[in-house]
C-alpha cells in the first residue's frame, strides 16, 4: 500500500510535468498534490494511521528510529502502538533517521517536554537525555560527511563519544570566536604564514560545526589515510552547498583583511565578486609558493640540513638552529617527499655541534653517535641549554 507521503510526491510530480507542458499550475495533478499536502498536517499527527496503513518503507524507517531510541535508553518493548519509543516519535514527529540531522543538540530539553506534554509520559533521565544529545550530534556528523547512520553498528559508547565531541565543539567554538588571520608580510617566509592561516582556521568553527581549515586543505595523493578523526573530518567535508558557501565567503573576508595594503591584496581582490576564499588562497599559494618559489626554498632548506652548525649561544642560539633544522626536515618531507630516518637526524644533530672544552656536552655527542634514538632521551645532557 502507498502511504500518503508517497501520494503527495506522486501527485506533485504529475502536476510539475503538466506545468512543463502547459505553462500553468492549474493541472489536476498539482491541485491534487496541494490538497494532499494540506491534509498532510493532520496526517503527521496521526502516527497510528501511518504505522498500520503506510507503505513498507515507512514502517521499516520507523522501526530503525525505534531501534536507535532503544540504544538511547527509551523503552522499546510491548505493543508497538503504545511503546515509549513510538510515543516519543509521535510527540516529536520523527519518521526516519534523516529527521535527526535537522535537529540541534540544544533541542533535547524541548523534545523531552513535548514528549511529556503530548504523551503524558514521565520525565526521561539525565543519561537518556545525554545519549539523545549524542545521537543528534552523531546524525549531524554523518550528514556533513555525506554518510548515513547505520543503527546496526550503533551503541551507547558511540553516543557517549559523540556527546563528548559536541562538548568539545562548544569549547572550540567559544575559543575560536575572535580568531583572526596573521597579517601578511611579503618579507616573511610565505610557508610560515600559510601554516599560521591553517592553524587559525583550525581553531575557528564554521557552518559545518567543524574547523574551517578544510577550506585550505591541499589535494592528497591516492591512498592517503587520515591520521586521526579530526583530519578525517577535514578531508570529508564537501566543497559545495550552502554551508560551504557561507564558510568560503567568510574566509575571503578574513583573507581580505589579512592582506590589505600589501602586494598580496591584488591576488585576493580578484575574487571579490565571487567571495571565493578558497580560490583566493590558491592564488596566493600559486604566486608566493609556486614552482619558482619552491625551487628557491628547496636549495635553502637543503643547505640548512647540510651546513647547519652550532658553536655557542653568542653566535646563534641552540633553539634557533634546531627550530630551523626541524622546519627544513618538515618542508622537504611534505613538499618534496624527501624523508630522513631518525638515525640520520640524530647523526646530523651530532655532527653540527662544534663546541670544544665541554666534557658533558662531549659525552652527549658521543652518545648520539653510538646509541639508538630511543636511548637518547635518557641522557640529561641533551636538554641542557647553557652551552
String of DSSP letters for 191-247 = HHHHHHHHHHHTTSB-TTSSBGGGGGPPPPPTT---SSHHHHHHTTS-S-SHHHHHH
- The answer to whether 142 and 148 are in contact (CB under 8 A) is yes
pLDDT of residue 370: 67
Distance CA 70, CA 66 (A): 6
Would you state the cell numbers that stand for residue 246, as one nine-digit string?
Answer: 557561507
DSSP type of residue 310: B
- Phi, psi for 135 (deg, rounded to 5): -65, -45
Would you state the cell numbers that stand for residue 371, as one nine-digit string?
Answer: 646509541
Return the closest-CA partner of residue 288 out of 253, 255, 254. 255
* Beta-bridge partners for 353: 310
pLDDT of residue 301: 81
- Cβ-Cβ contacts under 8 Å for 231 (sequence gap 6 or more): none
Would you state the cell numbers that stand for residue 382, as one nine-digit string?
Answer: 641533551
The mean pLDDT values, 10 residues at a time, for the chain of 387 residues are: 49 50 47 48 47 69 94 93 91 92 92 88 87 96 92 95 95 91 90 90 95 91 84 93 96 96 95 96 88 67 82 78 81 75 77 70 64 49 40
- The answer to whether 364 and 382 are in contact (CB under 8 A) is yes
pTM of the model: 0.65
pLDDT of residue 275: 96
DSSP type of residue 25: S
pLDDT of residue 350: 73
pLDDT of residue 271: 96
Return the closest-CA partner of residue 34 out of 9, 6, 69. 9
**Is residue 166 packed enough to be buried (19+ CB in 10 Å), middle (13-18) or exposed (0-12)?**
buried
Amino acid at each position: 500500500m502507498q502511504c500518503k507521503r508517497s501520494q503527495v510526491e506522486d501527485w506533485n510530480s504529475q502536476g510539475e510535468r503538466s506545468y512543463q507542458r502547459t505553462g500553468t499550475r492549474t493541472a489536476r495533478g498539482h491541485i491534487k498534490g496541494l490538497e494532499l499536502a494540506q491534509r498532510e498536517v493532520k496526517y503527521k499527527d496521526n502516527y497510528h494511521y501511518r504505522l498500520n496503513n503506510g507503505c513498507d518503507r515507512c514502517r521499516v524507517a520507523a522501526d530503525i528510529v525505534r531501534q536507535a531510541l532503544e540504544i538511547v535508553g527509551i523503552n522499546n518493548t510491548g505493543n508497538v502502538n503504545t511503546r515509549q519509543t513510538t510515543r516519543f516519535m509521535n510527540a516529536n514527529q520523527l519518521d526516519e533517521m534523516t529527521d535527526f540531522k535537522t535537529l540541534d543538540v540544544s533541542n533535547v530539553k524541548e523534545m523531552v517536554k513535548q514528549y511529556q506534554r503530548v504523551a503524558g509520559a514521565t520525565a526521561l533521565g539525565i543519561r537518556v537525555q545525554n545519549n539523545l544529545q549524542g545521537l543528534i550530534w552523531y546524525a549531524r556528523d554523518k550528514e556533513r560527511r555525506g554518510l548515513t547512520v547505520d543503527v546496526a553498528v550503533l551503541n551507547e559508547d558511540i553516543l557517549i563519544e559523540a556527546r563528548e565531541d559536541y562538548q568539545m565543539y562548544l569549547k572550540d567554538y567559544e575559543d575560536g570566536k575572535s580568531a583572526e588571520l596573521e597579517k601578511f608580510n611579503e618579507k616573511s617566509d610565505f610557508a610560515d604564514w600559510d601554516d599560521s592561516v591553517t592553524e587559525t582556521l583550525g581553531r575557528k568553527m564554521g557552518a559545518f560545526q567543524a574547523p574551517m581549515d578544510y577550506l585550505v586543505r591541499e589535494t592528497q595523493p591516492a591512498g592517503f589515510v587520515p591520521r586521526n578523526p579530526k583530519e578525517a573530518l577535514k578531508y570529508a567535508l564537501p566543497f559545495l552547498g550552502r554551508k560551504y558557501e557561507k564558510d568560503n565567503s567568510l574566509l575571503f573576508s578574513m583573507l581580505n583583511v589579512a592582506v590589505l595594503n600589501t602586494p598580496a591584496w591584488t591576488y585576493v581582490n580578484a575574487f571579490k565578486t565571487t567571495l571565493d576564499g578558497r580560490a583566493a588562497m590558491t592564488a596566493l599559494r600559486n604566486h608566493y609558493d609556486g614552482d619558482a618559489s619552491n625551487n628557491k626554498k628547496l636549495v635553502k632548506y637543503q643547505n640548512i640540513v647540510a651546513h647547519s652548525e652550532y658553536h655557542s649561544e653568542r653566535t646563534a642560539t641552540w633553539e634557533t638552529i634546531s627550530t630551523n633544522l626541524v622546519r627544513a626536515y618538515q618542508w622537504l618531507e611534505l613538499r618534496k617527499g624527501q624523508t630522513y630516518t631518525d638515525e640520520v637526524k640524530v647523526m646530523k644533530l651530532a655532527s653540527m655541534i662544534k663546541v670544544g672544552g665541554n666534557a658533558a656536552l662531549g659525552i652527549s655527542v658521543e652518545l648520539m653517535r653510538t646509541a639508538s634514538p630511543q636511548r637518547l632521551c635518557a641522557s640529561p645532557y641533551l636538554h641542557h641549554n647553557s652551552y
